[in-house]
Amino acid sequence: MMLGPAAAIGGLVAWGTVVGIDLVSFPQGLLSRPLIVGAGAGLLLGNLEDGLRVGLLLELFALDVLPVGAARYPDYGAGTVGAVLFSTAGPWPQTLGLATLFALGFAVLGGVSLQWLRELNGRALQRQMAGLAAGDAATVARLQYRGLLGDLFRSAMLAGIAVAAAQFLREWLPLGERQLIVTAVAIGAGVAAAATGALRGAGRGARLRWLAVGVGIGLTAAVLR
Amino acid sequence: MTTGFVRASLRLLGVQAAWNYERMTGLGMGYAAEPLLEDLKSADPARHAEAQIRSAEYFNSHPYLAGLALGALVRAEYDLVPGPQIARLRTALTSPLGALGDQLFWAGLVPAVMAAGIVAVVYGAGIWALLAAVLGYNVCRVATGVWALRTGLAHGAKVGSAIGSSWLPAAAQRIGLLAGLLVGIALPLASVWLLQAEHAWELPVAAGTITVGLVAAWTLGPRTNAVRFGLTAIGLAALLAWGLP
């Protein structure tokens, strides 16, 4: 992989920004899912295989999350972009675990930044109460655009920091056989997260039976592969 | 109204852009309502001003189904339904639309599509399958949004019964079952695809982590979650790897 071309790095930051806005603000069209983010980042780096692998593992973590309105939920976008860059520093069995750790850390940071943005939106609203009370459509539009621009800034900053951090850390990545244990634990944690989310979502009704049937089919298919 | 309908539909795609704890998606609703209320401006300026104020008040629901509420509230304004009744309708629609949308999309279609995407990646379909998944999902999302706004505008204050007799409740039920099936299929396939163990000890390490994760979720309940468990487990493993000779 050609690492370091400014276009690829700029592309990663732009992609991280787009998927960051997609999470909540516009258009919420599935772009922010880690599997999609990872595939896009892998394409930009000319390493789709690693992008898909990082994205798929992080998607397992994301399957546990129900992004309900006021709840605090992680933002996997920027972290996944950085993690794909991070993971291309060496053979994937040695980098995948640490890349996942990197992405999860940024997912938490992304979630916190969303809370800050929402508080800032609230303060802006307080300052525009007179216009809102008068039914001024321009005030509503201004607040809406302000919110969108705020999320654009938040996403761009987060993506920029994630890509810069990944670029810096990949130079210091401790590679070697010992990292295989980190990758094995990361895969186990991802599967546990997805299984927990699936069981929680299934409850005790018909969905649980369909889940069990699915696991049976999946196990058979995995054995036959 | 046709131009207004298109503009409102597009604006609904960003209904959560100014999300805040005071009014939640209220501002987004007000922004989307504005083109639909245009005709009221010339017909009844006083009513239009009141409607404009009401349209940006507190509201929260699933973003994809917000059009149902928006259409119903706008239609109620044109029908000259009294203001307090419109406020009650707004409040009454919050929880059902939120719950229905969460069930249909966040807990249904999204995991179903992503699980299908995982299976496709495992079988080597790669980027084209993911593009098709994103495209297909967005067709469903936009079609639902258009249907929601149209249904809301058609039924006004009686939108509740229209929702109850629509395809939504049954679809939410069915898509949940499909999501369960597809996530079930994806999990073992993803595990095997990711864990191409070079050493005998890797499988028990991953299996042990899965067991600890499930036990932690079972015993700690909402005090733990995927990210917390992942950070703790992988962080400890990284420390262990760092300290290994």
Interval B76-109: pLDDT, tens: 999 999 999 999 999 999 999 999 999 999 999 9
Copy the structure tokens of residue B132. Answer: 């098709």
For residue B1, what pLDDT is reported? Answer: 61
Considering only CB atoms, B20 lies closest to which of A65, A118, A140, namely A118
CA of A94, closest CA in chain B: separation in Å?
11
Distances (CA, A) of B56 to A224, B53, B122, B174, B214: 56, 6, 46, 34, 43
**Mean pLDDT along residues B185-189:** 97
Least confident of A58-72, A181-195, B63-77, B217-231: A58-72
Judge: A192–B225 Cβ closer than 8 Å, yes or no: no
| A139-185 pLDDT, tens digit each | 999 999 999 999 999 999 999 999 999 999 998 888 888 899 999 99
Residue A210 identity (one-letter amino acid): W
What is the distance between the alpha carbons of residues B88 and B157, in angstroms, rounded to a whole number?
10
- Domain spans in chain A, listed from the N-terminal domain onward: 6-224
For residue B207, what pLDDT is reported? Answer: 96
Question: Is B106's Cβ below 8 Å from some Cβ in A?
Answer: yes
Percent of chain B with pLDDT over 90: 91
Question: What ipTM did this prediction achieve?
Answer: 0.95
Considering only CB atoms, A202 lies closest to which of B52, B180, B187, namely B180
Judge contact between B15 and B29, C-beta under 8 A.
Answer: yes
For residue B223, what pLDDT is reported? Answer: 80
For residue A64, what pLDDT is reported? Answer: 86
Torsion angle, alpha carbons of B174, B175, B178, B179, to 10: -140
For residue B222, what pLDDT is reported? Answer: 77
Judge contact between A73 and A109, C-beta under 8 A.
Answer: no
Which chain A residues contact residue B231 at CB under 8 A? 101, 104-105, 108
| A96-111 pLDDT, tens digit each | 999 999 999 999 999 9
Question: Is B195's Cβ below 8 Å from some Cβ in A?
Answer: yes
**Helices then strands, each counted (H, E), chain B:** 12, 0
Residue A2 reports pLDDT greater than 70: no
Name the pTM for this structure: 0.95
Residue B198 reports pLDDT greater than 80: no
* Touching A: B residues 45-64, CB under 8 Å: 49-53, 56, 60, 63-64
**Mean pLDDT along residues A76-81:** 98
Considering only CB atoms, B217 lies closest to which of A137, A196, A202, namely A196
Please report which confidence band the pLDDT of residue A69 belongs to, taking 50, 70 and 90 as the band edges.
Answer: low
Considering only CB atoms, A178 lies closest to which of B19, B177, B244, namely B244
Please report which confidence band the pLDDT of residue A1 belongs to, taking 50, 70 and 90 as the band edges.
Answer: very low
CA of B186, closest CA in chain A: separation in Å?
6
Copy the structure tokens of residue A74. Answer: 């992680």
For residue A177, what pLDDT is reported? Answer: 87
Q: Which residue of A has its CA nearest to B236?
A: A182
For residue B191, what pLDDT is reported? Answer: 95
Question: Is A2's Cβ below 8 Å from some Cβ in B?
Answer: no
Phi and psi angles of residue B121, each rounded to the nearest 5 degrees, phi first: -65, -45
Distances (CA, A) of B240 to A113, A185, B150, B237, B244: 31, 11, 58, 5, 6
